[in-house]
Structures are given as C-alpha cells and as structure tokens.
C-alpha cells in the first residue's frame, strides 16, 4: 500500500518535471506588436483667414478623437487676420496632444501671424532656406495701406504693446526666446532657419517631415501639465488636406472676390426687377449676393466703405430711371470706387483689394452708366410708336368722298378726318396732325397740299 502510494507520487513528480522542461525548451511566443499612434499633418499655404482658422481647429479636434499622438502644421504664410490667428492659437493651446509647427518646404516663411502660431506650438521646426518674423501689427488708414506718421498714435501704441505682450507670453509658455519675439513685433526683424535655431526660437531644423519625426522620437513634451513621450519613428502619417468646404470658404473670404460677388449680385437683382420674368439674372444675383455678404461678415469690413458702395450702386441704378444725363451715374461710380478702397479695414497681407481690381470694377460700372445714358438719349430721339403722336405720319384709306370733312380707316380704326383737298372714296391718305378726335389728312402722294 505504502509502495503503491510512493509510486504514484514519483510518477506525478516526473510528469511535472517533464512539463517544466518542455516549457523551458519550447520557443517563447512573440510579444504582440505595439503600433505607435498616428501623426496627423495639416497644411496652411497662404494668408491666415477664417478658412484656415476653421480648418486647423477642426483638424486638431478630429486628430484628438482619432487618438493621434502628434499634429504637425506645415505652414507657409505671409501673415493674416488677427482674429483668425488668435482662434488658431486657442485651438493649439487647448489641444490634448502636442502640436508642432513646421515651416516648410524650403523657401517658405512664417511671417507676421505665422510667427505667433509657431511660438504657440509645443514644438517649432523649420526647413533649411525658410524664414520667420516681421510680426509688427499693421494699422490701416483711409487709403487702405498703413499710415506713415512721424509720431505713432495712442491706438498704435496700444496695438504694439498688446501684440508684444501676447507673443512674449507665448514664448515664456514654451520656453523660447522671448526677447527676440518682442523684437519681431516692435522692430519687425526676421530670422533664417539656422539663425532661429541658434537664437533658441525654434527647436529643430529638418529638411523634410520624415527627418523631423525621426528627431522627435523619444522626446517628452508637456501637454496640460502632463508629460507625453513621442514615438514618432515609424509612426503612420495621416495627411489631412483642406476639404472642399475649406477651399470654398477661402475663396469666398478673398476680399476681391467678395466685392465682385456683391456687385454682381446687386446688378443681377436690378436686371431682374427691370425685366420681370427673366429668372436667370434674379437667381444668379441672389446667389452671388448671399455668398458675397457671407464672405463680408467673416472679414473686418469698414462699414463706411460698404455704405459708399451701396450708395454708388443706388445712384447708378437711379441713372436708368431719372433724366440726369449721367450726373447721378458719375457720382455713383465715384462713390463706388471710394467705397471699394475703404471697404476692408486691415493691412494684413492678402486681405486688401488690389487697385487693379477696384479700377476694373469701376471702369465696368462707368461703362454701364454711359451705356444707360446712350440708350436713354437714343430713346428720346426716337419717333413715338404708341399714343396719339404715333398717328402722325401714318397712312390710311378714305371710306367716302370728302370735300372738307369725312371718314377714313387709319391703322385699322375709323377716324373722322378733315382735309384742305377734296378726297375720293378709297383714296390713300397720310395723317398730318391730330386735333382731339379729328385727324388732319392729305393725299398720300402729295401731302404738302394739306392745310
């Protein structure tokens, strides 16, 4: 009994030992592969405006929902609107993941508003041959360009100090060169990529995005007070270009196109009112006017300029209905051109109306006015074709013999006629004048015989 129990125990121990040996000798199962979170790239190419602000804010939000570890903004901009720039910076500062600003490709720049955006990002990088800076806020005077005064005004001092404090705060938040940032605002200085790296304005200089991601691999970035370690080597890159809505918004918020859309819209509605039932001018005008007004409400519009444009258009319309022979129309053209020059209260690059556009629209408006005046003058000289005056010179046929008074068929109607020359039945006659309900007539072949 005891021997049997000992045998069973020995067999159990041998089985356990064999299992242990098999576990040691068997090849280890491969550990599950760890795939790094994706890197999302967004692209800004052109002036900073409402379309860029919406695109970047939406792109950062979508990247957060997709679990991206990093958002890279590839930027090439001459600057833009202050309100749009601040909206972009708010989206960057509240992002739940690191955001890198990469000035690329070679030859690109991050001027003016682009410098602020670069300073706001957790990581700043540039490609060789790029530059940044010239972040001085630009004020606009009546001519649509910056006023050059010997002594800056109190408002300009406020704008300058506000901009300098804003970019200094961003530099201190990211641990970058705050003194140079303030000089970029107050003195409009700029730096190349290599100089920016030496001045501790940017963190990296990389020739392309793969090289930048390789440099960032393993870096710890503080986001909302928490350290995030980047694993960008071999991470999938998801490019999110602007969609059709962003491109449409960018086109509509181009000041020149917004002005043209409003002008075409108003003229389309005018033509529809002048020719009811034409349909096409009314539909086209309504669509253009709504698109133009939508673009204007997103832009920093000078309402004095907008009022002058509307007044000018109203004067040009009035020219078509009032016998002023061009006086009101010319005034309308002048008001329209001045209003177009004053329309946008900004000196931001890319958000002014070129003089060539204003001149072209003004010339077309002047041609429309002069065309209306010439049509009115031709109509004034044209012989009446309706009413009582239209009967003078028309021809008809006598219905009976008449020595002095008689009846005739003229224009399909029966009229009482008087004549200085005896007329015969069925004789052709011509109307010389009308006196009330009586027509003065004469033989058609010899109208000079009439009285």
* Pair (212, 98) in one structural domain: yes
In a domain, 311, yes or no: yes
pLDDT at 96: 94
In a domain, 26, yes or no: no
In a domain, 95, yes or no: yes
**What is the 8-class DSSP label of residue 105?**
S
* Pair (260, 218) in one structural domain: no
* Pair (80, 211) in one structural domain: yes
pLDDT at 146: 42
* Pair (228, 285) in one structural domain: no
Q: Hey, which residues does 405 pair with through a beta bridge?
A: 418
134 φψ region: left (φ > 0), alpha (ψ -120 to 50), beta (else): left
Which residues in the chain land under pLDDT 70? 1-34, 138-153, 320-321, 323-326, 345-352, 372-373, 375-390, 447-451
Question: What crossing angle do the helices spanning 303-319 and 355-381 adopt, rounded to 10°?
Answer: 20
pLDDT at 6: 53
pLDDT at 110: 93
Q: How far is Cα 101 from Cα 1, in angstroms, rounded to an integer?
A: 82
In a domain, 350, yes or no: yes
* Pair (62, 121) in one structural domain: yes
Enclosing domain of residue 309: 253-381
In a domain, 29, yes or no: no
Question: Which CATH number does the domain housing residue 185 bear?
Answer: 3.90.226.10
| The two structure tokens encoding residue 336 | 């329209």
Count of domains observed in the chain: 3
Domain finish residue from 335, 352, 381: 381
* Pair (228, 122) in one structural domain: yes
pLDDT at 117: 96
256 is catalytic: no
* Pair (282, 176) in one structural domain: no
* Pair (336, 404) in one structural domain: no
In a domain, 89, yes or no: yes
In a domain, 112, yes or no: yes
Domain finish residue from 214, 244, 274: 244
* Pair (72, 200) in one structural domain: yes
List all residues 6 or more positions away from 349 whose beta carbon is below 8 Å from its beta carbon: 47, 78, 79, 80, 111, 112
144 φψ region: left (φ > 0), alpha (ψ -120 to 50), beta (else): left
* Pair (133, 65) in one structural domain: yes
Are the beta carbons of 244 and 264 closer than 8 angstroms?
no
pLDDT at 140: 37
Are the beta carbons of 23 and 34 closer than 8 angstroms?
no
Secondary structure E strands in 317-394: none
* Pair (116, 180) in one structural domain: yes
* Pair (222, 82) in one structural domain: yes
In a domain, 302, yes or no: yes
Domain finish residue from 212, 244, 276: 244
112 is catalytic: yes
Give the active site residue among 6, 153, 158, 224. 158
pLDDT at 389: 64
Q: How far is Cα 244 from Cα 163, in angstroms, rounded to an integer?
A: 33
Question: Which CATH number does the domain housing residue 396 bear?
Answer: 2.40.50.140
């Amino acid at each position: 009994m005891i021997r049997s129990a000992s045998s069973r125990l020995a067999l159990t121990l041998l089985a356990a030992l064999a299992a242990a040996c098999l576990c040691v000798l068997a090849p280890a199962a491969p550990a599950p592969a760890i795939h790094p979170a994706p890197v999302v790239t967004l692209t800004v190419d052109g002036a900073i405006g409402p379309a860029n602000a919406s695109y970047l804010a939406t792109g950062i939000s979508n990247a957060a929902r997709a679990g991206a570890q990093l958002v890279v903004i590839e930027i090439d901009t001459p600057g833009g609107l202050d309100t749009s720039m601040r909206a972009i910076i708010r989206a960057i500062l509240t992002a739940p993941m690191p955001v890198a600003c990469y000035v690329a490709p070679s030859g690109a720049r991050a001027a003016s508003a682009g410098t602020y955006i670069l300073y706001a990002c957790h990581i700043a990088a540039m490609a060789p041959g790029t530059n940044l800076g010239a972040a001085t806020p630009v004020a606009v005077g009546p001519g649509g360009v910056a006023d050059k005064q010997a002594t800056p005004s109190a408002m300009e001092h406020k704008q300058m100090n506000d901009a300098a404090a804003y970019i200094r705060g961003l530099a201190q938040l990211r641990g970058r060169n705050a003194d140079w940032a303030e000089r970029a605002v107050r003195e409009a200085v700029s730096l190349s990529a290599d100089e920016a790296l030496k001045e501790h304005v940017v963190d990296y200089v990389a020739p392309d995005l793969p090289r930048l991601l390789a440099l960032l691999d393993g870096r710890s970035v503080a986001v909302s007070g928490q350290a995030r370690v980047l694993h960008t080597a071999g991470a999938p890159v998801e490019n999110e270009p602007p969609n059709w809505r962003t491109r449409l918004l960018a086109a509509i918020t181009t000041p020149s196109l917004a002005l043209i859309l409003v002008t075409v819209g108003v003229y389309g509605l005018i033509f529809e009112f002048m020719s009811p039932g034409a349909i096409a001018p009314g539909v086209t005008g309504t669509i253009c006017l709504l698109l133009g007004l939508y673009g204007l409400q997103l832009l920093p519009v000078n309402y004095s300029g907008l009022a002058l444009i509307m007044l000018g258009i109203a004067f040009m319309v009035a020219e078509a209905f009032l016998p002023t022979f061009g006086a009101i129309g010319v005034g309308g053209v002048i008001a329209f051109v001045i209003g177009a020059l004053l329309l946008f209260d900004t000196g931001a690059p890319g958000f002014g109306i070129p003089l060539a556009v204003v001149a072209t629209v003004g010339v077309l408006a002047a041609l429309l006015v002069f065309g209306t005046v010439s049509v009115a003058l031709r109509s004034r000289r044209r012989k009446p074709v309706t009413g009582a005056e239209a009967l003078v010179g028309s021809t008809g046929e006598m219905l009976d013999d008449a020595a002095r008074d008689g009846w005739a068929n003229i224009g399909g109607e029966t009229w009482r006629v008087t004549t200085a020359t005896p007329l015969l039945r069925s004789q052709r006659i011509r109307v010389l004048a009308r006196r009330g309900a009586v027509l003065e007539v004469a033989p058609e072949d010899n109208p000079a015989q009439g009285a």
